[in-house]
Structure 1
Amino acid sequence: MDCEVNSEGMNKREGEGCPRKNADAVQDRDASANPSSPIIAVFKVFQQELDTKHDKYERLVKISRDVTIESKRTIFLLHRVTSVPNAEDILNEADVKLDAVRQKIGLIAEELRGEDIYQFHRAFTAGIQEYVEAVSFLHYIRHRSLISLEEINARLVFMRTEKVDPKGSDEALPLGAQVLTFHVTPSDYLLGVADLTGELMRMCISSVGNGDIDTPFQLSQFLRQIHDGFSYIGNTGPYEVSKKLHTLRQSLGKVEDACYALRVRGSEIPKHMLADVFSSRTTLLDPEEGVV
């Protein structure tokens, strides 16, 4: 028996098992939908909110990508301090680059004004971790210590000028100053410090190649302290820490192996050949060997 359809496009005998013509029914309902319906109005608001959130997320991803690129360039620049006579020029140039990176982080702070940071955290976490790695690398080269989270956040305060609307006045709007702050989360700080250990291992290799036999021992002690600190965190920290802890142990093992080679055979090997001996030893070193 054919289905009888009324003027509103609905089946009269749906309850009796009569098949519906889904595609035609959907088209009929869409054509006859009332645009002033409160339900449609509510869903239009939801659509606008989701589009706005998606656009903000994409802008944050782009800014984070710029932060990552500039932070990596700063790290590459800092690796030159072991091979130049005047390291202060390199450090000053790195300061300028990091100031530019902080301005980009200020753009992230503007996007997050009035927002829940954890709704968009995945969009910019990679860039912030790279920034923490770069700024902590610079701090270690200058002070031979680890920068704290409070010191990092203290430099992420931005002044922004914007127009202030005087009530009941049509005159030109004056400019007002507003303070924006960006707080690096503890998890981003920990993950950035974990990545720092790889750069310190590379710094150790460069120092050995340049005949510097003091820096590797300083780095070995410093990396051991960082490793012990991460061991205390255990499973209570971010889940990414367990992945980076393996790389941290590899870096520590290579630095300790370099110190071993310098202590045992340093007096019998010319300084310009230490890098070759160290490289050949690290290629044969098991990742977990020598790491407690």
Structure 2
Amino acid sequence: MNEKEGSCAFKKHKHENVPRSQRKEEKGSGVGSSSSMVIAFKSFQHELDTKHDKYERLVKLGRDITIESKRTIFILHRIISDPNKDGVLTEAENKLDVVRLKIKQVAQELVGEDLYQYNRAFTPGLQEYVEAVTFQHFIKTRCLLCLEDINKPLIFEEEKSDVKSTSIELLDDPLIPVLEKKQSNPNILSLQVTPVDYLLGVADLTGELMRLCIGSVGNGDIDTPFELGQFLREIFDGFSYIGNTGPYEISRKLYALKQSLAKVENACYTLKVRGSEIPKHMLADLFSTKSELMEHDEDIS
């Protein structure tokens, strides 16, 4: 008898020594589909799937908010050359109403949920919305829109029943608990912009103001760059108080703010010193060339 046959005989002999009743108990000791452990894990599975699906829906809504906000900014840039400025502002306001409807859908998804569990899904969209609405406000008033005024239009009324509940049974098993979601104040929905999103949106606003400055000069407007230069310096002073104490995104966007301010100040300097020497239709090209040279020098350093 070789070694392999000996081991098989040993296993068979060991199995025969176990009583038949004990072997039946071992076979029947498997976890059944109605056990409490399986029910608990099915409940966990459903909860995780629900959260993941909600997160994906919020990502799509955040992407829609970003796209519509960018379209609003593109519309507002037309105010440089469009003689019907009131029509441009009205069209931009209509676009912002569409964005607020998307934000309302985000608020509906977050009913009864922790905001900060899903904040990363739509926070880029809120920052883009802040950029668009502050840009519109600056064009109209030459002032910065505060956080409180941004959040006021983001309070919505919900036209539904007093209690909003969602009940789903898992795998039609009556032992699995039913999931319910109730709304404490169902007539009011709100999604407030956080201070961090506000700061990041204002930092992005400076880039649009720099583009507005260059476009204004190309259109023959030599007063707007000086207004924008003073406004950007005030924003830069405000961000200087924050410094590197805030989130990483603020420090990164502060660098872009410095670049925008330098380009606007360069435009103001050129207008003041050489404005009478260079034709107005060539000033925008001159600023663009100098901006590219500045960016190239900064990349090298």
Please give the TM-score of this superposition, normalised by the length of structure 1. 0.84
The equivalent residue for 2:61 is 63
The equivalent residue for 1:274 is 283
The equivalent residue for 1:208 is 217
Q: How far is 1:141 from its partner?
A: 0.4
The equivalent residue for 1:284 is 293
CA–CA distance in structure 1, aligned partners of residues 24 and 293 of structure 2: 79
SS at match of 1:145: coil
The equivalent residue for 1:260 is 269
The equivalent residue for 1:191 is 200
The equivalent residue for 2:47 is 49
Amino acid at match of 1:178: N
**8 Å CA contact retained: 1:109, 1:181:** yes
**8 Å CA contact retained: 2:123, 2:197:** yes
The equivalent residue for 1:86 is 84
Q: Is 1:247 matched with 2:256?
A: yes
Amino acid at match of 1:161: E
Amino acid at match of 1:278: F
Amino acid at match of 1:157: I
Amino acid at match of 1:141: I
Q: How far is 1:163 from its partner?
A: 2.4
- Consecutive unaligned residues in structure 1, runs of 5 or more: 11-27, 166-175
SS at match of 1:235: coil
Amino acid at match of 2:85: A
SS at match of 2:156: strand
* Number of positions where the alignment pairs a residue of Structure 1 with one of Structure 2: 261
The equivalent residue for 2:134 is 136
Q: How far is 1:283 from its partner?
A: 2.0
**8 Å CA contact retained: 2:162, 2:187:** no
**8 Å CA contact retained: 1:253, 1:287:** no
Q: How far is 1:267 from its partner?
A: 1.4
1:72 aligns with one of 63, 70, 73: 70
Q: How far is 1:150 from its partner?
A: 0.4
User: Any runs of at least 4 consecutive aligned residues in structure 1 with deviations exceeding 3 A, and if so which?
Assistant: 1-10, 286-289
Give CA-to-partner distance per residue, 1:88-125, whole Å, 9 cap, x none: 11001100100110011000000111111000001001
CA–CA distance in structure 1, aligned partners of residues 136 and 120 of structure 2: 26
The equivalent residue for 2:246 is 237
SS at match of 2:244: helix
Give CA-to-partner distance per residue, 1:124-144, whole Å, 9 cap, x none: 011111101100100000010
Cα root mean square deviation, aligned: 2.2
SS at match of 1:53: helix
- Consecutive unaligned residues in structure 2, runs of 5 or more: 1-6, 164-184
SS at match of 1:278: helix
CA–CA distance in structure 2, aligned partners of residues 92 and 111 of structure 1: 29
Cα 1:89/1:9, change in 2 over 3 Å: farther
SS at match of 2:160: strand
Q: Is 1:154 matched with 2:152?
A: yes
SS at match of 2:157: strand
CA–CA distance in structure 1, aligned partners of residues 198 and 240 of structure 2: 16
Identity across the alignment (%): 61
CA–CA distance in structure 2, aligned partners of residues 133 and 47 of structure 1: 39
**8 Å CA contact retained: 1:250, 1:288:** no
CA–CA distance in structure 2, aligned partners of residues 111 and 134 of structure 1: 23
Farther-moved stretch of structure 1 (55-64 vs 237-246): 237-246
**8 Å CA contact retained: 1:67, 1:101:** yes
SS at match of 1:285: helix
1:107 aligns with one of 75, 80, 105: 105
Q: How far is 1:8 from its partner?
A: 7.0
Amino acid at match of 2:105: L
CA–CA distance in structure 1, aligned partners of residues 241 and 296 of structure 2: 21
**8 Å CA contact retained: 2:162, 2:186:** no
